[in-house]
């Protein structure tokens, strides 16, 4: 389970880093708190952070459940794809939001796959037994 733990910690570090980027953009674009609108560049950083939070709510429990019911190495590998996808999403969304599709697919896809694996593992356990 160390690989699951590593991916979990990296996802949290990545989210924390995205928050720092939002703060830096807030200062650079002079968007005074508590405003969350006002400058397109700031709004892009903010949306990346919020979208990442939205996917983390699905990813992290699914990662742990799928990793405990199936292969933790397999689940961690899928989680690693998510991390790469989030970085691409950040890069592309901030540059041009219309280009975010690849990063979104590489992060939403793994989160969905892990959710389905977790649901399948739980269903299998309920129907067949451990």
Span 95-121, average pLDDT: 97
- 3-class DSSP assignment, residue 100: coil
Which residue do the tokens 């890069």 mark? 91
**Interior angle at CA 50, CA 92 and CA 90, nearest 5:** 15
CATH number, domain of 29, equals: 1.20.120.550
Q: Cα(17)–Cα(45) distance, rounded to whole angstroms?
A: 11
pLDDT band at 129 (very low <50, low <70, confident <90, very high): confident
| Counted domains in the chain | 1
Q: Cα(4)–Cα(79) distance, rounded to whole angstroms?
A: 8
Span 32-38, average pLDDT: 94
Asked if residue 128 is part of any domain, the answer here is no
Span 27-35, average pLDDT: 96
- State both tokens at 130: 């451990």
- Please state, for a pLDDT cut of 90, what percent of the chain lies above it: 98
Note down the domain range covering 72: 2-120
Contact at 8 Å (CB) between 29 and 42?
A: yes
Q: Cα(91)–Cα(93) distance, rounded to whole angstroms?
A: 6
- State both tokens at 90: 């950040």
Asked if residue 115 is part of any domain, the answer here is yes
Asked if residue 58 is part of any domain, the answer here is yes
Q: Which of the 8 DSSP states describes residue 99? A: G
pTM > 0.85: yes or no: yes
Can you give the pLDDT at residue 130?
66
pLDDT digits (tens, 9 = 90+) for 69-104: 999 999 999 999 999 999 999 999 999 999 999 999
Asked if residue 68 is part of any domain, the answer here is yes
Span 117-122, average pLDDT: 97
Asked if residue 35 is part of any domain, the answer here is yes
pLDDT of residue 63 exceeding 70: yes
Q: Cα(5)–Cα(96) distance, rounded to whole angstroms?
A: 33
């Amino acid at each position: 389970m160390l690989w699951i733990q590593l991916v979990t910690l990296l996802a949290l570090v990545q989210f924390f880093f995205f928050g720092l980027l939002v703060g830096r953009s807030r200062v650079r674009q002079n968007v005074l708190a508590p405003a969350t609108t006002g400058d397109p560049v700031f709004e892009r950083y903010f949306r990346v952070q919020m979208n990442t939070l939205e996917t983390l709510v699905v990813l992290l429990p699914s990662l742990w459940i799928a990793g405990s019911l199936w292969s933790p190495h397999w689940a961690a590998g899928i989680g690693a794809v998510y991390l790469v996808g989030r970085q691409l999403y950040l890069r592309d969304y901030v540059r041009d939001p219309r280009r975010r599709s690849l990063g979104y697919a590489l992060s939403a896809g793994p989160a969905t796959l892990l959710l389905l694996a977790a649901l399948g593992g739980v269903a299998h356990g309920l129907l067949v037994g451990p």
